[in-house]
Structure 1
Amino acid sequence: MKNIFFGILTLILTANLQAQAIKYQISFENAVHHEAEIKATFTNVGPGIFSVRMGRSSPGRYAIHEFAKNVYNLKATDATGKNLKIHRPNPYQWDISDHNGEVNVSYTLYADRGDGTYAQVDETHAHLNIPATFIYSPTLTDREIMVAIDLRNDLNWKVATQLEQLSETQFRAPDFQYFMDSPIEISDYSLRQFEVEQNGKSQTIEFVLHHNGTESELDTYFEQVKKIVLAQKDVFGELPNFDFGKYTFLACYIPNVSGDGMEHRNSTILTDREGLAEGGMRNNIGTVSHEFFHAWNVERIRPQSLEPFNYAEANMSGELWFAEGFTSYYTNLILSRAGIITPEEYIEGLTGTFNYVWNSPGRQFFNPIEMSYQAPFVDAATSVDPVNRDNTFISYYSYGSVLGLALDLSLRENKLNLDDYMKLVWETFGKSETPYTIAALHQTLVQYAGKEFGDHFFDYYIYKSEMPNYGNLLQSVGVVLKQATNQPYFGASVAINQFGAGIVQRNTQIGSPAYKAGLERGDVIMAVNNTPLAPNQNFSDFISQYKVGDTLKVAYTRFSIPKSTTVILTENPGYTIQLLEKEGAKPSKKVLRNRKGWLKVE
């Protein structure tokens, strides 16, 4: 009798929860004009004004996006079909009154950007990031959510998502936070899967690809994806326990999307205009590596500053140098370890990022933590006023990446390594999903490598903006960091048009010859040492005819007013990074062992 009683009680509670579930229905009859029709049902709503709103930010993005701008034709009714009063207290909220405990909202969504933040609806697919698509109630975030999708059978559409699948067209999220973090791809996609055994159970890794290429191309690409998954598993020692036992790559490599990648708890968005046969086979695989690493680092190894993610405002985090930057460090390192790129390609590929960070004047203004704070202004944020980020900002992706390189090589000099530090961070914070702070990362490094080492790294390179000795660190693995010599440096990005006018493209860098000479973005260089610039000439090639220390008389216009100045050329501050063997030298056996341990190569 007791079992029967509890069984009946469970059924009653389940039925009650289902009755309170928020229900959405979405259809795409007018997909050709980028419209979706959406209905939302909210039941057991308390008395008084009931508010719904569109999100203003999106998981993995930190800026404001104002998704409400694409919503129109919004109507609200009660359970009897009566039209309800709607008031707009602000641009992204609708206050609904005179309801009877049930509110049904319908609206049209315009969607035409396929990437990791927005939504795109056309007759190729319905690519849905949830905050950009679905209205929500801020007072009902603990309720489960049911989504019904009306498929376009004439287009052979099917659904891929990390949401729990109840049927071909019915899906469920346990609560608001999971729902908002669960993108949906609806298209005539191809699918590949493989199983990873771990601790006596199997988890499914699936790769969904919406593209215009061949199945054979996908087969080749998927083999690379598998290598990446297994190489990253080796870093942490295990895969995360994915909800519903599955991780899904949602890839769209079609001409009408925008290039992007965006991590989610059990899935990732991958978008690019290049198909696999048009360069995507090589050019898109780095995003696969980066986003899958986030399944550990940022999704489960989670900054306290992002918990819970606030969809009503910008989200600021001082930990992005670690969450995004260390992930960026591993992005190409994993490609090398997996054999997708060669060690030489990986090492020489460090050059651009290193020069960007090393030579940026931004370090005199912000440390890595404060660079991370800039994310709401730079992470797909939009503004119309000019800014001075060429001189004040270093991407936390790049900054954190070169710091990850330095930490890895520094640890290896002490017979430790970054992989094992990441494992400790995973064991301490990720597996239990305990949010971390910068102080906690600092303490974990002290625990792993000792107080002197841990304090030095954080005190000088995280809390301050000093730079490690990369020359010595790279030398320990047989890699040469060498500055370009006797190459003249002008210090401005100049594009010469078809009329022979050299337009300064960006703010000149603080301390550069062009900056000291007073040249600025928008200035138009007409002649150097009384020699007119040739139409469509490469400005760097033009400057290369001179020598370090030469003084150039530059004739230019600003706001159509003729001016002149003198530029004294300095030595190019850029470095090259390459294997010691390219210098004609032979690494020692110890150095080769160090390199092998770092790159995991035979």
Structure 2
Amino acid sequence: MTAIHYTVEAADLHAHLFRVTLTVPEPQATQTVSLPVWIPGSYMVREFAKNLQKLTAKQGRRSIALIQQDKCTWVMSCKRDQALVLSYEVYAFDPSVRTAWLDSQRGFFNGTSLCLRVHGQEHAPHQLLLPAVKGQATWQAATGLTPVKTDKKGFGLYQAVNYDELVDCPVELGEFWSGQFSACGIAHRFVVAGALPSFDGDRLLADAQKICEAEIRFWHGQGTQAGSKAPHQSYLFMLNAVHDGYGGLEHVNSTALICNRADLPRLVHKQGRPFASDGYTTLLGLISHEYFHTWNVKQLRPDALASYDYTQENYTPLLWFFEGFTSYYDDLLLRRAGLIDDATYLKLLGQAINQVQQTPGRHVQTVAQASFDAWVKYYRQDENTLNATVSYYTKGSLVALCLDLSLRKEGHTLDGVMRGLWKRCKAGPMREQDLLDELHALTGRSWQAEIQAWVHSTHDLPLRELLSSQGIDIKSEAGSLAQRLGLRVNENSGHVHVKSVLRHSAAEAAGLAAGDEWLGLDVGNKGQGGSWRLNKLDELSALLGQERQFIALVARDKRLLRLPMKMPEESSTWKLATAEGRQSGWPAA
């Protein structure tokens, strides 16, 4: 079958426009094309067609009429023996990993944002031509696509086996740092855009290598042949370092990442040691998370995503497994790779537990429901999100923790379940029943009751009991003032703005609402303690002294409100620590 061909040019850097030329050598008599409305791995309809403009079609010198059927679909009547050529522009000014970006410093795109799908020919070979960018002699190109004929800078012709692979290999353009390493015999490349001159690339490569080797061996064993069993023969990390940003999106043999520039490891030394911020640990966790997806969701995938429908939502109740279990293993494998110690790991785990414990929505929505509703809830968060839903990432990771610690009490591990599922389902889609079957095969008993209680109910998880069984001490620490009041706030330039009010909280009882500006307070009986301006929420304790009741002075829609409020009892958070004389091998092994 003749290949579908795309030429993608960085046409106008200042106008942020890519120009795409799509050639269909053998069109159908009635040929339909469409642009995806979502990108796999990010479960929200994003309407990429809103950025497409100047779409034209020709066969030879003859213009072909384009009939638009809906927001992202066009139909043409064609001669079948003549190539169809479509031309269009795409506006690219979204700095996220999900769409496309183009300016004078950098270019980036996912195929779902730029490449029209040729209906009926999705399984044909697809080619992508990346011409060198005019006026940008120092720019390079990087992508996970297979090169056919490219120059030293990466510009030229690439190929994909089908449309799915084409749009699953994003492209990075610009003047970026590049480094390479081998993990279990597999070639890996890291490209970093936007780094400071002090960026320690060697350390990033060394740490990423440890992560990749730990994960390859997790899935395929400790032997020297582990790499030959992996589903990818090469891998590309694309990291965009910015002033303020964080995120990642997995792909078949690559990942696109964003981090704070300050979180990169630096060559600056403190006390004779290479310096890296706490944010660097977060970045390593992101790298670990997206790389783990190479197996868990890109190969081992939910049955609902066995074949992508790019025209609408693809619902699955299993994101608690594919995202949640990946979230459990991302930091756990950092520990096993020796990149963090037990104390750091338990601190990160404690943060995840506290995040769920401080979410009233955990008693409203099950984690399976949260997975199904990702399209309209998780990716469309608002002031009520914490009250109405729970994160399938975070609670899903705690479901994995509960399974792992329960299995360890019986002489097994979740590692064995994951590897068993890889063997059972890697050639086909996975269902919840497959997890239950693998648990039964490993332990000889049913786990239906646990999955029902932890995944399909809103009951709290048995974390305290299970952590204690592994020699983990659980202590209570005083929570923040925001947690005590049941608030989430933004504090900027001396102003306190309410983002969210948590259900059944003191703030809700007083009548505070999202969008309020908390200006100050009257303290004491009838204001005898004085009226005070509030510039930061943490000032509240000092202003109140021994008083428990006060009047919150609030601005809402230009109106000034006086809201009687009572300071609640102290709240607490969990702090995890290793008990003395602990015998368990978890989490290190």
Q: What's the TM-score, normalizing by structure 1?
A: 0.85
Cα distance in structure 1, aligned partners of 2:559 and 2:138? 61
Any stretches of 5+ residues in structure 1 without a counterpart?
A: 1-16, 581-585
Bigger shift: residues 172-181 or 81-90: 81-90
Cα distance in structure 2, aligned partners of 1:73 and 1:335? 48
* 8 Å Cα contact 1:55/1:135 also seen in 2: yes
Q: 2:43 aligns with which of 51, 62, 67?
A: 62
Alignment deviations for residues 469-515 of structure 1 (CA, whole Å, 9 cap, x no partner): 2222222333222334698722223557767x754321x21111222
Q: 2:19 aligns with which of 26, 37, 44?
A: 37
* 8 Å Cα contact 1:195/1:204 also seen in 2: yes
1:194 and 2:174 correspond: no
* 8 Å Cα contact 2:35/2:48 also seen in 1: yes
SS of equivalent to 1:55: coil
Match of 1:27 in 2: 9
Report the number of matched residues: 558
Letter in 2 for 1:574: S
Deviation at 1:165, TM superposition (A): 1.1
Go from structure 1 to structure 2 and tell me whether the alpha carbon gap of 1:381 and 1:76 turns closer, same or farther (over 3 Å shift): farther
Q: 1:493 aligns with which of 448, 464, 488?
A: 488
Cα distance in structure 2, aligned partners of 1:54 and 1:69? 10
* 8 Å Cα contact 1:123/1:155 also seen in 2: no
Match of 1:12 in 2: none
Go from structure 1 to structure 2 and tell me whether the alpha carbon gap of 1:437 and 1:143 turns closer, same or farther (over 3 Å shift): same
1:93 and 2:34 correspond: no
Mapping of residues 337-352 of structure 1, within 5 Å: 337-352=336-351
Letter in 2 for 1:161: T
Mapping of residues 37-186 of structure 1, within 5 Å: 37-47=19-29, 49-78=30-59, 80-99=60-79, 101-152=82-133, 154-168=136-150, 169-186=156-173
Letter in 2 for 1:235: F
SS of equivalent to 2:487: coil
Match of 1:14 in 2: none
Cα distance in structure 1, aligned partners of 2:340 and 2:555? 46
Letter in 2 for 1:83: S
Go from structure 1 to structure 2 and tell me whether the alpha carbon gap of 1:532 and 1:556 turns closer, same or farther (over 3 Å shift): farther
Go from structure 1 to structure 2 and tell me whether the alpha carbon gap of 1:567 and 1:534 turns closer, same or farther (over 3 Å shift): closer
1:204 and 2:187 correspond: yes
Cα distance in structure 1, aligned partners of 2:567 and 2:537? 14
Q: 2:453 aligns with which of 445, 454, 460?
A: 460
* 8 Å Cα contact 2:28/2:79 also seen in 1: no
Any stretches of 5+ residues in structure 2 without a counterpart?
A: 151-155, 267-276
Alignment deviations for residues 140-177 of structure 1 (CA, whole Å, 9 cap, x no partner): 21111011110127433333222111111111111111
Mapping of residues 490-569 of structure 1, within 5 Å: 490-494=485-489, 502-506=496-500, 508-525=501-518, 526-529=520-523, 530=527, 534-535=532-533, 537-543=535-541, 550-569=548-567
SS of equivalent to 2:190: strand
Mapping of residues 235-254 of structure 1, within 5 Å: 235-236=218-219, 237=221, 238-239=226-227, 241=229, 245-254=233-242
Bigger shift: residues 179-188 or 261-270: 179-188
Match of 1:477 in 2: 470
* 8 Å Cα contact 1:155/1:188 also seen in 2: no
Q: 2:247 aligns with which of 260, 276, 300?
A: 260
Go from structure 1 to structure 2 and tell me whether the alpha carbon gap of 1:457 and 1:534 turns closer, same or farther (over 3 Å shift): same
SS of equivalent to 1:570: coil
* 8 Å Cα contact 1:490/1:514 also seen in 2: yes
Go from structure 1 to structure 2 and tell me whether the alpha carbon gap of 1:502 and 1:192 turns closer, same or farther (over 3 Å shift): closer
Cα distance in structure 2, aligned partners of 1:542 and 1:36? 52
1:223 and 2:219 correspond: no
Go from structure 1 to structure 2 and tell me whether the alpha carbon gap of 1:420 and 1:242 turns closer, same or farther (over 3 Å shift): closer
Cα distance in structure 2, aligned partners of 1:455 and 1:548? 51
Alignment deviations for residues 159-208 of structure 1 (CA, whole Å, 9 cap, x no partner): 322211111111111111111211112333343333344xxxx4322223
Structure with the larger strand share: 2
Go from structure 1 to structure 2 and tell me whether the alpha carbon gap of 1:358 and 1:254 turns closer, same or farther (over 3 Å shift): closer
Cα distance in structure 2, aligned partners of 1:487 and 1:86? 59
Go from structure 1 to structure 2 and tell me whether the alpha carbon gap of 1:285 and 1:484 turns closer, same or farther (over 3 Å shift): closer
Bigger shift: residues 570-579 or 354-363: 570-579
Cα distance in structure 1, aligned partners of 2:106 and 2:553? 53
Go from structure 1 to structure 2 and tell me whether the alpha carbon gap of 1:242 and 1:179 turns closer, same or farther (over 3 Å shift): farther
SS of equivalent to 1:105: strand
Match of 2:588 in 1: 599
Go from structure 1 to structure 2 and tell me whether the alpha carbon gap of 1:39 and 1:241 turns closer, same or farther (over 3 Å shift): farther
Q: 2:442 aligns with which of 429, 441, 448?
A: 448
SS of equivalent to 1:33: coil
1:234 and 2:233 correspond: no
SS of equivalent to 1:313: coil
Mapping of residues 328-477 of structure 1, within 5 Å: 328-378=327-377, 380-381=379-380, 388-430=384-426, 433-452=427-446, 454-477=447-470
Deviation at 1:436, TM superposition (A): 0.6
Deviation at 1:533, TM superposition (A): 6.2
Cα distance in structure 1, aligned partners of 2:380 and 2:229? 33
* 8 Å Cα contact 2:183/2:212 also seen in 1: no
Structure with the larger helix share: 1
Go from structure 1 to structure 2 and tell me whether the alpha carbon gap of 1:322 and 1:486 turns closer, same or farther (over 3 Å shift): closer
Letter in 2 for 1:55: P
Match of 2:271 in 1: none
Go from structure 1 to structure 2 and tell me whether the alpha carbon gap of 1:50 and 1:541 turns closer, same or farther (over 3 Å shift): same
Go from structure 1 to structure 2 and tell me whether the alpha carbon gap of 1:571 and 1:408 turns closer, same or farther (over 3 Å shift): farther
Alignment deviations for residues 535-591 of structure 1 (CA, whole Å, 9 cap, x no partner): 4533234137769994444454544455444434333443232314xxxxx622xx2
Q: What's the TM-score, normalizing by structure 2?
A: 0.87
Q: Identity percentage over the alignment?
A: 24
Bigger shift: residues 115-124 or 540-549: 540-549
Cα distance in structure 1, aligned partners of 2:85 and 2:113? 19
Cα distance in structure 2, aligned partners of 1:449 and 1:548? 56
